[in-house]
Structure 1
Amino acid sequence: MHPTLPSAVGLLVVIPALVVAQAATEMDPIIVTATRTAQTAEATLASVTVITRSDLERRQIRSLPDALRGVPGLALANNGGRGKTTSVFIRGSESDQILVLIDGIKVGSATLGTTAFEQIPIEFIDRIEVVRGPRSSLYGSEAIGGVIQIFTREGGTREGGGPLTPRFSIGAGSYDTASISGGLSGGGQDAWFDLGVSLEDTKGFDACRGRETPFAGCGADDPDRDGYRNAAVNARAGYRFGELGWFDVQWLQTDSLNEYDGSLFAGDESKDRQQVLGGRIALTPVARWTMTLSAGRAWDESRIFFEDQFSSRYRTQRDSLAWQHDIAIADGHQTVLGVDYLQDQVGSSLAYARNSRDNTGVFAEYLGQFGASNAQISLRHDENQQFGGETTGSLAWGYRLPAGLRFAASYGTAFKAPTFNELYFPGFGNPNLEPETSRSLEIGLSGDHRATQWAINLYQTDVDDLIAYDALLWAPANIDRARLRGLEGLLTTRVYDWNLNANLTLLDARNRGASPNNGNLLPRRPEQSIALDLDRRVGRWQVGGSLFFAGRRFDDLANTVKLDPYTLVDVRAEYRFTPSLALQGRLENLFDEDYETTAWYRQPGRSLFVTLRYGP
């Protein structure tokens, strides 16, 4: 564990005692991602962060990576600003060891194994749930580090009728950036809908410092501005059949143009499209039994160009089907049973040895309350067309102590199937790869004292059969191991009239494979990070600021390319002309910090953005 761990623990325990807090009443949010069924945040044993629509607007968030920055246990690596490739790491796991869902539909590239977070418009998002820790026992492959689920705007109230509600925003700022979005929602208890459109354009800046070698930096020295454009549409609607059940359908499409410094091999421009189409129907035949049938398709397509000439094309498709049963056995006791089917398909201008595979998983979960204790047990078996069977499980237990304290402990196993690139990429893939597997242990203590909530979580994850490049085979192989240890501390309180949110992450993510890199830190994960948010409302004004610190990290497995620590400070202000109309301004990177999260790729300097927003 990092040497500063004892002092950090002490600090997080002492802070709540020193804060002058005032009473506040908030509804306990409902979380569905941690257990695949609705639970209050207070009942959920997992480490979960919920980002609401009001949080996004209060902090004047402009992108999904921006929203995720500062979440405990998360680290981001970005290739040069707005719209550029962004990797997300949860608790030190690899960026392709995170499961991403949009309204319950699995998304992400079957070739790369990652999700293009940078292309998902923030204006369509109603809520984000980030679950830290393994969830393969409920979702199958990819959920070693955790699960990120994005919920789009739903519309309606589900509680009563109401008029149509329009919304719009228009903004402009540094780097010749402009954005406009609009939407219309309506409905009530029995029917609901939401339609939204958005457009964003930025000229950007020279993203890469350049290095004229094929395997370092961007492999080019091209000192021009690297722009980005995104046009998107989202639609969602649903209807309730009285007490019998309801159905819901959703569609999201984004089209983007991304310019970057590249080469003949990697290109210098990409035209990308992401689509998600899904539907769910839930029926409640009897009071204690709800069954849900859901189906979805997620596409991602990328066309690569070099100097305006077509270079290559990649297209992947994920079709999913799930049948789930939530059964309340008795008061405080519930089971969740289900089966999932997933088929991945790849289409490319390159010839893959295989272009499709499917996976079927069956799972069972028990949630129980025993006085001051509650427990969660889950078990899942997956049969994959490529690598055969894999069984995972998890066990979590929580105990409520006096004085608003709660102790929780959990253990879970997880796995990730190899991607199509790792298996079949022409001249590179290895079809004999086995899944990566993991074992995780976590303990935590949390406190809820009127307006002050805090938590401390300690965890360790051991990952086996990590897939890495084997120079002897000239191909990827299961040759590595990793040990991920960390601490997360969280504090939410009110200091006089200021709302304070703070968190600290300490991470020790090391290579434990039989290689020259044994003992080295895994790339692009900072050893320490701190996030602070302060906000205050005074009449028609709301003012606030954010501070984010990331410690030392390395860009390579050999730990020879160091990325320096950095500190970012953002300030923001909002003036409300009416309860629905507001003018917002955000000054990012106030002190013009020069930093990189990926070697050779610049990050934005001091930037100002102004937005006029109308909405309920």
Structure 2
Amino acid sequence: MYVDLGVSGVPLLLSVILAASVVASDMERITVTGTRIPQSQAEQPVPVQVISRNEIARLQGGSILPLLRQIAGAEVYQTGGFGGQTSVFLQGGGSGQVLVLLDGQPLTSPTLGSAALQNLHPDEVERIEVVRGARSSLYGSNSMTGVIHIFTREAERNEASVRVRHGAHNFRELAGSASYQTDFSQHQLQFSRRLFEGYDLTVDREFGNQMMDGAQATNFSLNNRFDVSDRLQIRLRHTDNRSLAEYDQSCFDPETFERVTCFPATQTRQQGTVGRFDVQWRPGLRHEWQLGEWRERMRTVNRGDSESFWLGLGDEFMTERQHLSWLQTQRLAGGNQQLSIGLDWQEETAELEPMPLDNERRRSVAGLAQHQWSYPNWQVNLGGRLEHVTGFGVQGSHHVDFGWTGVDGWLFGAGQGSGYRLPTFNDLYWPQGGNPNLDTERSRNWRAFSRYYTGYGHAEVELFRNEFTNLIAWAPTADPLLWEPQNIGSARAHGATLRWEHQLGVWRLRAHGTVQSTYDRETGQGLLYRADRFGNLTASYGFAEGVLSADVYMSSSRLGDAVTGERLPGYWLLNARWEQVLLPQWHFYVSMDNLLDKEYVQRPGFHEPRRQFRIGLSYHWR
């Protein structure tokens, strides 16, 4: 993300940000929602990670990818360069087994089963909160291995900025932002337009057009906050993302069926509106209402002039989700206990053209409860959820979390929880191979962690074990030539995740690493695309009116083909960024991704971008 560090204040704030100490007291001031209730990060009995605005500013990445790679325990894959499908595998789980929220609004698609993270612009992100472990008892379907909660930016002062950027593969960007603040309201506007001519994504020369595969994206967001009174706060946010990503596909003449050159692409539009009302009725009693709508439309098109045919040409997916939730938090007598109860309602609809789905709608209603006991040296959370889903009956899940701070500077925690994932509309009703008899995927998670506050940061280690059952995958039927989605069995993932943050003067160091073992419990074979070892190291240095940062991402080999057992080789990447304030209103940016021009593979059959240089300039009004 090429983030404007200067929009948050005068240029000297660049150095002040980097020089700020990261001590335990800072963590105590960070409010997070790992248990769906605002609470100090230092008091959470679950391992919650926060990627703050300051950290995002230091990364200055060109996409959402550098932000996601900061998530401890997460393997992040992008099919090709800018615009390619971006997937997060969290502690051995698949991309559809981690729930992604945007300001509390689910982004995970009920048709595709995962979130199109590549369509988000990092300039919109204020912070990212990550909770590892099964959290379906709080958030429902898809939160089998964790929750990634993305919060968008809010206005802090009256200001505006505009910037342009250019880089490798003819990457171009025009972006702007404006903030306006009154005594009782805040308004934040973000806009960006990005173009990328790209490169040939596929390795197989017999497959595709051997031409440049480019992408483009337009992002617009408007975030509003109204402080009506000391007891009532209202937030309204609207997002509109449009993108087009080209890819390679075998194409044929519709009359002669001879192979022809075509230029397939996927057009996507995402629109989301969400409103939240926080009401503090009296001290110790809080109500939260949230309602929203999310629409996603995906269409496959041919960008070329010639008529051609391929499987999927003209297909159009239309997904819509409405949700309404209510959560009440009540402090009980004595003040050291807290009871939360809530209701969630959701309706999902999906349409497919030109071949309709057999069933296009499902509804769910859920009730949840959580009880927290807090004492000077320990805290216990106990919660559960019952959810009724059309066609699947009642789904139950739970969590138990324990935290202890009896040793000065240390936090010890342990927990156990369960999760589930509903089959997607494609799994159930896809006209060319859906299976309406599928059951929900299930998971159970055990974890234990310890965190030590050094006075200049903290270090954390977590042991985890995830058990998966009723996994959904395409498999042959009684007719070996026919495949369909089936509940094929069970899998296990266990290992350790380490995370470290340290402040040394104007240096800020952050690192995380994971060692894990993932395998199918019936065959003993490893799971696709899960590395045994992976991690990230980021270092940033602040100086007068500027910042330098670099990060290294490392991944060991992983299974790339379940049939042949072929493994994809490990790799490591070095990225570097520099921002300098030239004048009080002008900022200069330089970045180099894959600085050493490494050749690597994340998915079989796809080229990955080599060295990418980008340069940018921005102007700011205050």
| TM-score under structure 1 length normalisation | 0.90
Decide which of 191, 200, 203 is 1:197's aligned counterpart. 191
Task: For 1:603 and 1:31, locate their aligned partners in 2 and report how far apart those are by CA, in whole Å.
Answer: 38
Matches within 5 A, 1:252-267: 252-264=239-251
Letter of the 2:37 counterpart? T
Task: For 1:254 and 1:458, locate their aligned partners in 2 and report how far apart those are by CA, in whole Å.
Answer: 38
Task: For 1:111 and 1:416, locate their aligned partners in 2 and report how far apart those are by CA, in whole Å.
Answer: 13
Structure 1 residue 35: deviation in Å? Answer: 1.2
Is residue 436–residue 467 contact of structure 1 (8 Å, CA) maintained in 2?
yes
Query: Is the partner of 1:262 in helix, strand or coil?
Result: coil
Task: For 2:210 and 2:111, locate their aligned partners in 1 and report how far apart those are by CA, in whole Å.
Answer: 30
Letter of the 1:84 counterpart? G
Matches within 5 A, 1:473-484: 473=478, 474-484=483-493
Q: Once the two structures are superposed, what CA deviation does each residue of 1:148-170 show, in whole Å capped at 9, x if it has no partner?
A: 111111214xxxxx5x2112322
Task: For 2:112 and 2:204, locate their aligned partners in 1 and report how far apart those are by CA, in whole Å.
Answer: 24
Letter of the 1:342 counterpart? Q
**Cα 1:360–1:32, aligned 2, differ >3 Å: closer, same or farther?**
farther
Task: For 2:182 and 2:603, locate their aligned partners in 1 and report how far apart those are by CA, in whole Å.
Answer: 46
Task: For 1:545 and 1:522, locate their aligned partners in 2 and report how far apart those are by CA, in whole Å.
Answer: 31
Structure 1 residue 495: deviation in Å? Answer: 4.1
Letter of the 1:478 counterpart? N
Letter of the 1:287 counterpart? P
Q: Once the two structures are superposed, what CA deviation does each residue of 1:313-371 show, in whole Å capped at 9, x if it has no partner?
A: 11111111101111122423222210001111001112211011011111011222122
Letter of the 1:418 counterpart? P
Task: For 1:269 and 1:327, locate their aligned partners in 2 and report how far apart those are by CA, in whole Å.
Answer: 51
Decide which of 398, 412, 416 is 1:411's aligned counterpart. 416
Task: For 1:146 and 1:340, locate their aligned partners in 2 and report how far apart those are by CA, in whole Å.
Answer: 19
Task: For 1:203 and 1:450, locate their aligned partners in 2 and report how far apart those are by CA, in whole Å.
Answer: 47
Task: For 1:482 and 1:613, locate their aligned partners in 2 and report how far apart those are by CA, in whole Å.
Answer: 49
Structure 1 residue 252: deviation in Å? Answer: 0.3
State the partner residue of 2:298: 302
Query: Is 1:312 aligned to 2:311, yes or no?
Result: no
**Cα 1:267–1:482, aligned 2, differ >3 Å: closer, same or farther?**
farther
Decide which of 552, 562, 572 is 1:547's aligned counterpart. 552
**Cα 1:121–1:23, aligned 2, differ >3 Å: closer, same or farther?**
closer
Matches within 5 A, 1:33-432: 33-156=33-156, 164-210=158-204, 212=206, 220-264=207-251, 268-306=264-302, 308=304, 311-329=314-332, 330-349=334-353, 350-432=355-437
Structure 1 residue 581: deviation in Å? Answer: 3.9
Is residue 482–residue 509 contact of structure 1 (8 Å, CA) maintained in 2?
yes
The CA RMSD measured in Å over matched residues stands at 2.0
Structure 1 residue 449: deviation in Å? Answer: 1.5
Is residue 44–residue 403 contact of structure 2 (8 Å, CA) maintained in 1?
no
Query: Is the partner of 1:548 in helix, strand or coil?
Result: strand
Structure 1 residue 416: deviation in Å? Answer: 0.6
Query: Is 1:609 aligned to 2:603, yes or no?
Result: no
Query: Is 1:571 aligned to 2:576, yes or no?
Result: yes
State the partner residue of 1:592: 597
**Cα 1:132–1:206, aligned 2, differ >3 Å: closer, same or farther?**
same
Query: Is 1:438 aligned to 2:443, yes or no?
Result: yes
Letter of the 1:166 counterpart? A
Query: Is the partner of 1:27 in helix, strand or coil?
Result: helix
Letter of the 2:270 counterpart? Q
State the partner residue of 2:536: 531
Task: For 1:578 and 1:361, locate their aligned partners in 2 and report how far apart those are by CA, in whole Å.
Answer: 55
Query: Is the partner of 2:530 in helix, strand or coil?
Result: coil
Q: Once the two structures are superposed, what CA deviation does each residue of 1:222-241 show, in whole Å capped at 9, x if it has no partner?
A: 21111111011101112122
Matches within 5 A, 1:445-456: 445-456=450-461
**Cα 1:203–1:45, aligned 2, differ >3 Å: closer, same or farther?**
same
Note the residue ranges of structure 1 that are not aligned, 5 or more in a row. Answer: 1-20, 157-161, 213-219
Query: Is 1:489 aligned to 2:498, yes or no?
Result: yes
Is residue 222–residue 239 contact of structure 2 (8 Å, CA) maintained in 1?
yes
Task: For 2:564 and 2:32, locate their aligned partners in 1 and report how far apart those are by CA, in whole Å.
Answer: 39
**Cα 1:58–1:579, aligned 2, differ >3 Å: closer, same or farther?**
farther
Task: For 2:92 and 2:585, locate their aligned partners in 1 and report how far apart those are by CA, in whole Å.
Answer: 41
State the partner residue of 2:258: none
Indicate the larger mover: 44-53 or 332-341. 44-53
Q: Once the two structures are superposed, what CA deviation does each residue of 1:177-204 show, in whole Å capped at 9, x if it has no partner?
A: 0111111112245211111111101111
Is residue 51–residue 70 contact of structure 2 (8 Å, CA) maintained in 1?
no
Task: For 1:135 and 1:33, locate their aligned partners in 2 and report how far apart those are by CA, in whole Å.
Answer: 12
Indicate the larger mover: 285-294 or 357-366. 285-294
Q: Once the two structures are superposed, what CA deviation does each residue of 1:518-572 show, in whole Å capped at 9, x if it has no partner?
A: 1111111111012111111122332221111101111233462321100101122
Is residue 31–residue 129 contact of structure 1 (8 Å, CA) maintained in 2?
no
Structure 1 residue 66: deviation in Å? Answer: 2.5
Is residue 228–residue 258 contact of structure 1 (8 Å, CA) maintained in 2?
yes
Is residue 578–residue 589 contact of structure 2 (8 Å, CA) maintained in 1?
yes
Aligned residues: 579
**Cα 1:407–1:262, aligned 2, differ >3 Å: closer, same or farther?**
same
Note the residue ranges of structure 2 that are not aligned, 5 or more in a row. Answer: 1-18, 253-261, 308-312
Paired-residue identity, %: 26
Is residue 210–residue 222 contact of structure 1 (8 Å, CA) maintained in 2?
no
Structure 1 residue 491: deviation in Å? Answer: 1.2
Q: Once the two structures are superposed, what CA deviation does each residue of 1:58-106 show, in whole Å capped at 9, x if it has no partner?
A: 1112211231024211112222111011221111111111111111111
